[in-house]
């Protein structure tokens, strides 16, 4: 690497090369050289211009911008209908620890865009996708996406969409549990969900528990 040439194993001719190496790791190589688990000579050859990239959990304020970028790029790649994340959903994303960093965030966004129903991506839907169905702490009436400045019909529809998505997530996708929570007959519930654009046959959210 230092001389920009090498000899093939068993060969006599010198091979010239123009080589640049970019190496990445999530390990502390300096500590590993001290305890003998990483070769010092290799470490000093590689450690020319170190660049430390902070994990996502250290700059959570960038999550909304990253989500917006991923939404547009994934929609363009997969030819999907446009969907936006509600304010509550974005705030919930900002409160995650993201052990998988930006790749994990992108996977969550892609999963929701591909498998979700029409309309904005709400908090309950996000929590269900994250495997967190403990949505009882959130009250639908206080969600910012149910506006009071809308016409009554639109406000009622927005409230009902938020209400059923909320309880659907809390019910873990069970139609029977959703019917119990809402106090509706299953037949009427299916009709209501269809009218709100929530597909009761979608395996992503509505799984029958018999």
Domain containing residue 77: CATH number = 1.10.8.60
Integer Cα distance of 162 and 121 in angstroms: 10
Domain count, the chain: 2
Q: Specify whether 68 is located in the same domain as 167.
A: yes
Report if residue 153 sits inside a domain. yes
Q: What's the pLDDT band for 67 if we cut at 50, 70, 90?
A: very high
Report if residue 135 sits inside a domain. yes
Q: Specify whether 30 is located in the same domain as 117.
A: no
Please indicate, yes or no, whether the overall pTM of this predicted structure exceeds 0.75.
no
Report if residue 98 sits inside a domain. yes
Picking from 42, 43, 112, 41, the residue whose alpha carbon sits closest to that of residue 74 is 112
Report if residue 201 sits inside a domain. no
Q: Where in the sequence is the domain holding 27, given as residue range(s)?
A: 5-46
Report whether 21 contacts 46 (CB < 8 A): yes
Q: What's the pLDDT band for 205 if we cut at 50, 70, 90?
A: very low
Q: Specify whether 126 is located in the same domain as 39.
A: no
Q: Specify whether 116 is located in the same domain as 27.
A: no
pLDDT tens-digit profile of 125-151? Answer: 888 888 764 444 443 334 444 455 566
Residue 183 vs residue 66, higher pLDDT: 66
What pLDDT score does 31 carry? 92
Q: Specify whether 61 is located in the same domain as 37.
A: no
Q: Specify whether 134 is located in the same domain as 191.
A: yes
Residue 4 vs residue 142, higher pLDDT: 4
Integer Cα distance of 128 and 168 in angstroms: 9
Report whether 171 contacts 179 (CB < 8 A): no
Q: Specify whether 64 is located in the same domain as 142.
A: yes
Three-state secondary structure call for residue 133: coil
Q: Specify whether 60 is located in the same domain as 40.
A: no
What pLDDT score does 70 carry? 96
Q: Specify whether 94 is located in the same domain as 173.
A: yes
């Amino acid at each position: 690497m230092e001389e920009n040439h090498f000899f093939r194993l068993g060969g006599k001719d010198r091979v010239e090369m123009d080589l640049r190496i970019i190496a990445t790791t999530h390990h502390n190589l300096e500590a590993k050289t001290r305890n003998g688990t990483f070769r010092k000579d290799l470490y000093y050859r590689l450690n020319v211009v170190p660049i430390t990239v902070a994990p996502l959990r250290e700059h959570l304020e960038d999550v909304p911008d990253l989500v917006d970028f991923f939404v547009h790029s994934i929609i363009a790649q997969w030819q999907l209908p446009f969907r936006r994340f509600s304010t509550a959903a974005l705030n919930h994303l900002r409160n995650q620890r993201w052990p998988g960093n930006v790749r994990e965030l992108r996977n969550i966004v892609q999963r929701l865009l591909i498998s979700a129903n029409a309309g904005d991506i709400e908090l309950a839907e996000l929590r269900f996708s994250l495997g967190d169905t403990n949505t009882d702490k959130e009250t639908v009436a206080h969600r910012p996406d149910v506006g009071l400045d809308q016409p009554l019909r639109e406000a009622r529809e927005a409230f009902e969409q938020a209400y059923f998505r909320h309880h659907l997530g809390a019910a873990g996708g069970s139609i029977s549990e959703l019917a119990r929570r809402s106090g509706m007959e299953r037949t009427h519930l299916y009709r209501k969900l269809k009218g709100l654009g929530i597909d009761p046959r979608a395996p992503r959210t509505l799984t029958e528990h018999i």
